[in-house]
Structure 1
Amino acid sequence: MAGFRPAFGLGGAHRQTLAAALLPAPRPPLARERFELPDGDFVDLDWHRDARGPAVLVLHGLEGDSRSAYARRLLAALARCGRRAGVLHARGRSGEPNRLARSYTAGDTDDLACVLARLQQRDGRAPDVVGYSLGANRLLKHLGEAAGRAGIRRAVAVSPPFDLGRAADRLDRGLSRLYQWHLLRSLRAGYRVKLAQHPQALPLGADDLDALKTFRSFDDRVTAPLHGYAGVEDYYGRCSCRPFLKDIAVPTLIVHALDDPFLYADAIPTPAELAPAVRLELAAHGGHVGFLQGLSWPAQDWLARRIAAFLDASD
């Protein structure tokens, strides 16, 4: 990938991944907007309160939200470029439990499509959208499903898990199990909140929850049955974004690293799998949602600058 060189001392996949999550990031002021959904639930969108300009939606990763460091860096960077960006939370991730028993998945696109349609109607133009990790998977799946009717002007996907099964396998190997442990702890905690709200509607009791030590087991026993999938393989097969890439019609940039500790490199799509509208930029090093070129903000923020440059390009 032209232009990206890891910061000295941050050449490894895990160093990039952890530094991007733990280094200080700006804290832009936020203003919340709620969108009621057709099924009686809701999603919340946290806008940069002081920014003005064309809208950019940001889709967070698994268990992320508007407080995630990558989201805060991007909101601040886009504000400097004359863009008003906001983080669209998946159901239940805005700090307030959603109303229904269901949660969110890697393949949810209906909520995104609903918000996009309302923003386009209100603003008179389609917004740009940036997705990170699981949010990148949702974005790419939506783009492929909708083709030319996506309701998006330009799109950027960062570190998408192109194949959810291969991602689950990678996260159960070596040091990547630390990320799996951290994220599963958050998922189990969220599920316990759900149990208190909807004890009769959930597929698993609290006594069995701690036995789920891998993403594959959690998705098989919780995510899949809760959201209408026959099992984990059905869920992964229907929600992985890789098969949808050939149908994307919107100008789309994918930024990914070969050393991403969340995904095996053999899951990265070949050029033949990409629609002409899709540009895949691969870095040898960059980790998962990393791509840091410095140890202080904004010097570290190569990724946000690359995103802003792509969104500012003419169609």
Structure 2
Amino acid sequence: MHESFRPLTGASNPHLQTLLPRLVRRRVRLKPHWQRLELPDGDFVDLAWSEDPAQAAGKPRVVLFHGLEGNFYSPYAHGLLSAWREKGWLGVVMHFRGCSGVPNRKQRIYHSGETEDARFFLRWLRATHGEVPTAAVGVSLGGNMLACYLAQQGADSLLQAAVIVSAPLMLEPCSLRMDQGFSRVYQHYLLGQLKQNATRKLLHYPDTLPLKLPQLRALRRIRDFDDVITSRVHGFSNATDYYRRCSALPLLPAIQTPLLIIHAKDDPFMTDAVIPDIANLPRNIEYQLTEFGGHVGFVGGSLNKPHMWLEYRIPSWLSPYLEPAT
């Protein structure tokens, strides 16, 4: 019943779909249990759990890797955690470094291909909370990162299944798309969030980024940010080098974990370059391309009763892997 997506009546426009979740999911439906996880290099990531994990022993669990400058309060994040809790699962958002509102201590931040923190976290999760069925969901940037992780790990992903939503699987074409038409509005907003985060970090740790505040304020595109900050902090020669080395699309054939990839044809952050050649995908990857949905939108139902399709589709698809038949 929840497999196909039909947009909210009168709201199939991709920009409406992209923006609607902020209206439909304005109220946070659960109070998260916060935890700070110290990392081996002296830095940290913050975790937002759907409940105290100490009280949830034995429950299936789902990890959420958020998008660019996302966090628990992103509509899809607290919406999905609520949906998983209603299923009796334990959900957790692993915030990328610096994305929980507190600047991280080290020079490193996060990017579309940075899998080290996710790898450490998933190993810590198993070691600390035991071996139970575990899945991961990656949204937008977090989806590209998750695909990179799954490809690198092969059969040893520590996950029973995964879902990737609205991921920019070819980073360079997506960066060019953000310079075109109405997509520039999204770029302006996201760049503002990146600058705000970087400003917070520069004020706390002035020597951790390779530029000063006046240079930061002068940046006009996400690609400029990736050129002077993301690439230089993480050892790439420039944004082009970063985009080409961290795009997950060429890595999909190496993935062995059961995986659902969801894209909307009308996603204003994407181009057709992110659509994989289905013939080259391994049998464990299911690809769903919807006509409508925008970028992490997928709002169905009616104005009186909107429904967030991802909050049905993702739990429904994951259920056989997290609740195997006995």
Deviating more after overlay: 107-116 vs 123-132? 123-132
Q: Is the 8 A contact 1:56 1:83 kept in 2?
A: yes
Q: Is the 8 A contact 2:5 2:290 kept in 1?
A: yes
Matches of 1:30 and 1:201, distance apart in 2: 30
- State the partner residue of 1:5: 6
CA RMSD of aligned residues (A): 1.8
Q: State the 1:78 CA deviation.
A: 1.1
Q: State the 1:101 CA deviation.
A: 2.1
The correspondence for 1:148, drawn from 146, 155, 160, is 155
**1:168 matched to 2:175:** yes
> Could you say what secondary structure the match of 1:174 adopts?
coil
The correspondence for 1:38, drawn from 40, 65, 72, is 40
Q: State the 1:299 CA deviation.
A: 4.4
Q: Is the 8 A contact 1:119 1:127 kept in 2?
A: no
Q: Is the 8 A contact 2:298 2:309 kept in 1?
A: yes
Matches of 1:297 and 1:98, distance apart in 2: 42
Matches of 2:63 and 2:304, distance apart in 1: 22
Q: State the 1:108 CA deviation.
A: 1.2
**1:107 matched to 2:105:** no
Q: State the 1:166 CA deviation.
A: 0.9
- State the partner residue of 2:261: 254
Residue identity opposite 1:89 in structure 2: H
Deviating more after overlay: 207-216 vs 86-95? 207-216
Aligned CA distance change for structure 1 residues 5 and 192 (closer, same or farther; 3 Å):
same
The correspondence for 1:117, drawn from 99, 116, 123, is 123
**1:308 matched to 2:315:** yes
Q: State the 1:65 CA deviation.
A: 0.3
- State the partner residue of 1:288: 295
- State the partner residue of 1:204: 211
Residue identity opposite 2:263 in structure 1: H
TM-score normalised according to structure 2 size: 0.92
Pairwise mapping of residues 157-306 of structure 1 onto structure 2 (< 5 A)?
157-295=164-302, 299-306=306-313
Residue identity opposite 2:51 in structure 1: R
Residue identity opposite 1:86 in structure 2: V
- State the partner residue of 2:100: 94
Pairwise mapping of residues 64-75 of structure 1 onto structure 2 (< 5 A)?
64-75=70-81
> Could you say what secondary structure the match of 1:300 adopts?
strand
TM-score normalised according to structure 1 size: 0.95
Deviating more after overlay: 285-294 vs 194-203? 194-203
Aligned CA distance change for structure 1 residues 10 and 296 (closer, same or farther; 3 Å):
closer
Matches of 1:166 and 1:209, distance apart in 2: 24
Aligned CA distance change for structure 1 residues 302 and 153 (closer, same or farther; 3 Å):
same
Matches of 1:42 and 1:273, distance apart in 2: 38
Provide the aligned length of Structure 1 versus Structure 2.
315
- State the partner residue of 1:137: 144
Q: Is the 8 A contact 1:126 1:151 kept in 2?
A: no
Residue identity opposite 1:188 in structure 2: K
Deviating more after overlay: 38-47 vs 192-201? 192-201
For 1:267-289, what per-residue CA distance to the aligned partner results, in whole angstroms no more than 9, with x for missing partners?
A: 31111342221111010111000
Matches of 1:145 and 1:298, distance apart in 2: 42
Aligned CA distance change for structure 1 residues 201 and 42 (closer, same or farther; 3 Å):
closer
Residue identity opposite 1:200 in structure 2: D
Identical pairs, percent: 41
- State the partner residue of 1:16: 17
> Could you say what secondary structure the match of 2:182 adopts?
helix
Ranges in structure 2 where 5+ consecutive residues have no aligned partner? none
Q: Is the 8 A contact 2:113 2:247 kept in 1?
A: yes
> Could you say what secondary structure the match of 2:253 adopts?
helix
Residue identity opposite 1:16 in structure 2: Q
For 1:195-250, what per-residue CA distance to the aligned partner results, in whole angstroms no more than 9, with x for missing partners?
A: 22332342122222222111111111111001111111111111111121110000
> Could you say what secondary structure the match of 1:148 adopts?
coil
Residue identity opposite 2:41 in structure 1: D
Aligned CA distance change for structure 1 residues 298 and 110 (closer, same or farther; 3 Å):
farther
The correspondence for 2:30, drawn from 28, 32, 35, is 28
Q: State the 1:266 CA deviation.
A: 2.9
Ranges in structure 1 where 5+ consecutive residues have no aligned partner? none
Q: Is the 8 A contact 2:28 2:73 kept in 1?
A: no
